[in-house]
Structure 1
Amino acid sequence: MNDILYDVLAQWKSGIDDHDPHRVAALFTKDAIFQGLHPYGVGRDAVAEYYDSQPIGLSAQYKLLETRQLADDIVLGYLAVDFTFTDRPTLPVNLFVILRRTDDGWLISHYQVSRL
């Protein structure tokens, strides 16, 4: 279960660090509920739009705090994430994700950020 989360999250981090919003969005289901620090959106287009609006140089460092296997095809992860910027202080947040096994592999179906 942790391997699943670490694999998807490593790809998520890489896409953010490279400022590649479409690569990040590809890690989400087509109907994913996405709640960053702006109003929520649904689907990959909302995810891509959100990450495209983020500044160049944004980077994510995370620590997986809790995991739960809710079903054979559903995994929950709770993380502490520090988003770092080139021109402002680090933003620490909590992140809650639900991954679902699909025909395309494990994808994020729910993403919820909250400020500390």
Structure 2
Amino acid sequence: MTTSEVAALRGPLDAWRSAIDRYAPEDVAAVFTEDAVFQGLRPYTVGRPGVAAYYASQPPEMTVSYRILESRRLAPDVVLGWVAADFSFPGLDRAPVLVNLTVVVRRDGDAWRIAHYHVSPRIAEDRLQQPAGLLELPDRGGDPAPLGGQVGP
């Protein structure tokens, strides 16, 4: 990670966090590009209206903290970030939601905005430390099925 990559990510991610913490869905959406691909924890959407609707449907009490785990500069005006995010719900009887985010930020004039946002549930650290093979699917014998389908009729 370079300082410039982290700075490119921090600007929009800090604005994203602040808008979530204030329950300001339109402000959250403003952090994204007009054509952003957004995959939260339900079906994806494209563009700011879908981002605003997604965050408007969340509890107003929701807050988020994040930390940047990795970054890569993909082009002079494009940076990829891998981020751990913890969504909390103060005052509600609800467990935190721990996720990883993959974000791509793109320079948009003088600002960096999120052009791609993808959430995946966080795997517990202890599972990541298991010996090879424990996270693999069991061998069913024969040739594996092609991705997305079954073998045969």
Q: TM-score, normalised by structure 1?
A: 0.97
Unaligned runs of 5+ in 2: 123-153
Q: Is 1:42 the counterpart of 2:46 in the alignment?
A: yes
The residue type equivalent to 2:105 in the other structure is: L
Which residue in the other structure is 2:76 paired with?
A: 72
Q: Counterparts in 2 of 1:1-116, with a 5 A limit?
A: 1-86=5-90, 87=92, 88-103=94-109, 105-116=111-122
What is the number of equivalent residue pairs in this alignment?
116
Comparing both chains, which one has the higher relative contact order based on Cα–Cα distances under 8 Å and sequence gaps of 6 or more?
1
Q: Residue 103 of structure 1: CA displacement?
A: 2.2
In 2: Cα distance, 1:40 partner to 1:46 partner = 8
CA root-mean-square deviation: 0.9
Q: TM-score, normalised by structure 2?
A: 0.74
> Percent sequence identity over matched residues?
50
In 2: Cα distance, 1:38 partner to 1:17 partner = 21
Range with greater deviation from structure 2 (16-25 or 100-109): 100-109
The structure carrying a bigger strand percent of its residues is 1
In 1: Cα distance, 2:20 partner to 2:29 partner = 10
In 1: Cα distance, 2:64 partner to 2:38 partner = 17
SS in 1 for 2:98: strand
In 1: Cα distance, 2:110 partner to 2:67 partner = 25
SS in 2 for 1:7: helix
In 2: Cα distance, 1:40 partner to 1:96 partner = 14
The CA deviation string for residues 19-77 of structure 1, in whole angstroms up to 9 with x for no partner, is 00000100111110000001100000000000000001100011100000111010011
